[in-house]
Amino acid sequence: MARVLRLGGRASKLSLVQANLASEALSAIGIATEFVPITTQGDRDRTSSLRVIGGQGVFVRAVEQALLDRDIDIAVHSAKDVPPAIAEGTSLAAYLPRGDVRDGLVSRDGVGLLDLAEDARVGTGSRRRAAQLLRLRPDLDVADIRGNVDTRIRKVEQREYDAVVVAAAGLQRLGQRASELIPIDLIMPSPGQGALVVQCRVEDAAQVATANHAPTSHAVSAERAMLRALGAGCSLPLAALGGVRGGEVLLAGRLLSRDGSERIEIQRSGDDPDSVGAEVAETLLERGGERLMEADARS
């Protein structure tokens, strides 16, 4: 009998949907799986700001530890949740075909972002979204929010917020509708947004890698390379979107001040995702990013 691999992921409704997508992709290459739910720190603490309890990686570390402890054999993550540095001895072996990269607005009255009432209260837990929202609509009351997608939508229905902004891919995977899918030129996504990635121990990477979707892998690898090159000291709102065209990797990167009043945007292309990502990061810093980071550190 063929071995069944234990597939670990967060213990949430969306994570179960994403685990099923990963299971289907792995099944197509002859790998059978069973899901093992894992509760992360981000799932246990649903009130504190993500920045307070660990920032990027708060939904990943417990799953990675289960992988290292051999409690699971493989793991599936939302790529946007995976920090630039992953656990030693592990590999991001396969990216699944990317979903919608956009952000979705869910509003109480069904209106779009530009039609929200003046001073409307908009919930988001993301500095990237907050800064871009304020750049577009400095009149908005952009407020921190925690909880899963269903919880955030319920807070709109209960009139705690006039609207929330969440990843469109998450809405779609849960069968939820957005009042508006926000155009990318207005709000650029987070590095890795819309993509799922399968992580495993290095010795198992070759077995899993045949499920890899190359265009998604190249695009997200460039986005992650940019994030990595900017360094752990960068706490500014950061957005990125990669793609592949004619054999070349394309990458746009956007860095903003926290209030959205300043924005730097760079686009580059090349053959190697890591090189393109590093070049975009370097140019962002040269064009004013380093000054923004220094000012942010002093504030």
**Distance, CA of 177 to CA of 171 (rounded, Å):** 6
User: Alpha helices of 28-118 — where are they, by DSSP H?
Assistant: 41-44, 50-53, 61-68
**Distance, CA of 148 to CA of 282 (rounded, Å):** 35
For 30: left if phi > 0, alpha if psi spans -120 to 50, otherwise beta; the answer is left
Burial (CB count within 10 angstroms: exposed 0-12, middle 13-18, buried 19+), residue 211: buried
Q: Which uninterrupted H or E stretch holds 123?
A: strand 121-123
* Catalytic residue chosen out of the listed positions 81, 100, 103, 162: 81
73 is catalytic: no
**Distance, CA of 14 to CA of 188 (rounded, Å):** 22
257 DSSP assignment? -
Point out the residues that are catalytic. Answer: 81
